[in-house]
Amino acid sequence: MTIDIFWRIPTHGEPSSHRARIPFRGDWFPGNDNLRKAGLGGGGADGFNYLDYIAEIAHAAEVSGFQGGLIPSFPMTDEPWVISSLLARETSTFRFMIPFQPGFLNPVVAARMTASLQRATGGRALYNVITGGGGPSQLWWGDSAGHDDRYTRTTEFLDVVRGVWRGGPFSYQGKFYQVEDAGLAHPLSEQEFPEIYFSGSSDAALVSASRHADYYLTWLEPFDQLREKFRRVKEKTDQLGRKIKCAVRVDIIARPTEEEAWEEVRKGFDNVDPATLRQFLGQDGGDSVGAARQRGNRPSTINSYKDLISEPNIWTGFNLFRGGQTQGIVGSYEQVAQRLDDLVQLGADAFILASTPHLEEAYRVGEEVLPLLRGHSNSQLLRAVG
């Protein structure tokens, strides 16, 4: 058994800590009116830009024991396909987990793009297939397809990508995609097909994941809920004669002592403005089942950061600091490693970890937490590179 450990690359920019919002690092961040650009003491640019900062984080993750990194895709980020190509020249072994929604890209073009990236990088591309959460955020992308139709479209998309990858001629007649005698040309057809990390919590998502995914990717949830989710997806893949692994996307705050970690949370929470807290309590996740599951684990009223502690070393307010999932792990280095080990025992085969600021925290987590995971000294158990 191998455990894959990935980091997160903040292509949307980030603050310098959970406690403050300025100065921002990188040139993307919601509400960045106070953005401070790097420059020379006497004024003027010094040539260091946001891509240099992202590359520093990728380097830090690479040398700290992470196999690769998730490159997020939001309306306020650059395109992950492009960022992956740029970072490929800045790293040697770092793998690029590229998130995308199948409805926004032709599957034959996607196969050709991916195979070209695989050829150029020695097989370092991975897919994070996202089908979308519905509601206004989905309409931002110009996509009005219903929930189950989106997952049908995703399944067809991956059918076509796999089909044309073999070299063809491949034909396909589906509800959303029709292909006649298509296929990648040599040498693209000889490249390694990327591993697929598949996100989604609904029954429709689990059906699609069981057909195509190598890894079923979920946000951190209460451990009993995760155990049941892993059981359901593995049961569906078993019915198809396939095997699937499970991965957990989780933010962490790890410090030398538990008290220091919770103090970091407290300071961050005390700097959350009332409007953000009200939005947090009233967030609507569209028709996303995963987002609904996250909302279901929040208290109805919040007076202190302690109200958001749901289990030992589990805090459910992370998206007060940054958008995305709500639940994460807080504690000493030993406690964070233990909770990750608990998730492995639950059935997790891979992790995508994150912490702010991602540059310094990549070193901290790589040096202080990863060595404490069971089997870290055994290369057969932990497949991380550095």
Q: Give me the DSSP letters along 236-298.
A: HHHHTT---EEEEEEEEEEESSHHHHHHHHHHHHHT--HHHHHHHHH---TT-HHHHHHHTTS
- pTM equals 0.88
pLDDT number for residue 6: 98
For residue 366, the domain's CATH number is: 3.20.20.30
Give, in order, the Cα–Cα distances in Å from 115 to each of 106, 170, 223, 242.
14, 17, 37, 24
For residue 169, is pLDDT > 50?
yes
CA 311 – CA 346 distance, rounded (Å) = 15
Q: Which domain holds residue 157?
A: 3-259+327-383
Residue 274 lies in a domain: no
pLDDT band, very low/low/confident/very high, at 76 (cuts 50, 70, 90): confident
pLDDT number for residue 318: 92
Which of residues 31 and 25 earns the better pLDDT score?
25
Cβ neighbours of residue 135 closer than 8 Å, sequence gap 6 or more: 284, 285, 286, 287, 288
Cβ neighbours of residue 88 closer than 8 Å, sequence gap 6 or more: 96, 117, 120, 121, 124
**Through-space distance between the first and last CA atoms of the chain, rounded to whole angstroms:** 19
Closest to 160 measured CA to CA, from 213, 102, 209, 83: 102
pLDDT number for residue 74: 81
Contact 103, 155 (CB under 8 A): no
Contact 33, 26 (CB under 8 A): no
Give, in order, the Cα–Cα distances in Å from 170 to each of 109, 113, 179, 268.
14, 18, 7, 54
Residue 114 lies in a domain: yes
Residue 311 lies in a domain: no
Residue 43 lies in a domain: yes
Vertex 370, ends 214 and 21: CA angle to 5°?
90
CA 318 – CA 8 distance, rounded (Å) = 15
Q: Burial level of 126, CB count in 10 A (0-12/13-18/19+)?
A: buried
Compute the mean pLDDT over every residue in the chain, rounded to the nearest whole number: 86
For residue 372, is pLDDT > 80?
yes
Q: Burial level of 30, CB count in 10 A (0-12/13-18/19+)?
A: exposed
CA 351 – CA 343 distance, rounded (Å) = 9
Residue 246 lies in a domain: yes
Residue 251 lies in a domain: yes
Strand partners, 294: none
Residue 136 lies in a domain: yes
Give pLDDT tens digits for 55-74. 999 999 999 999 999 999 88
pLDDT number for residue 41: 58
Mean pLDDT for 141-159 is 87
Vertex 344, ends 203 and 299: CA angle to 5°?
60
Give pLDDT tens digits for 191-228. 999 999 998 878 888 888 888 999 999 999 999 999 99
For residue 296, is pLDDT > 70?
no
pLDDT band, very low/low/confident/very high, at 295 (cuts 50, 70, 90): low
Contact 332, 229 (CB under 8 A): no
* Number of domains within the chain: 1
